[in-house]
Amino acid sequence: MTEAGVQEFVTKFAAAWAARDGEAFVALWHPDGMLHSPLYARPVAGRELGRLTELVRDSAPDHVWQLLDWTARGDVIVIEWQATRVVDGRRFDWRGVDRFRLREGRIAEERVYMDTAAMRAARNLRWPEPIIALD
The reply to whether 134 falls in a domain is no
pLDDT in tens, 78-112: 999 999 888 778 888 889 999 999 999 999 999 99
The reply to whether 101 falls in a domain is yes
CATH code of the domain covering residue 44: 3.10.450.50
| pLDDT band, residue 133 (cuts 50/70/90) | low
Any residues with CB less than 8 A from the CB of 57 and at least 6 apart, and which?
20, 63
The reply to whether 128 falls in a domain is no
The reply to whether 129 falls in a domain is no
Interior/surface letters 73-97, b for 16+ CB within 10 angstroms, e for the rest: eeeebebebebebeeeeeeeeeebe
Please tell me the pTM assigned to this model. Answer: 0.84
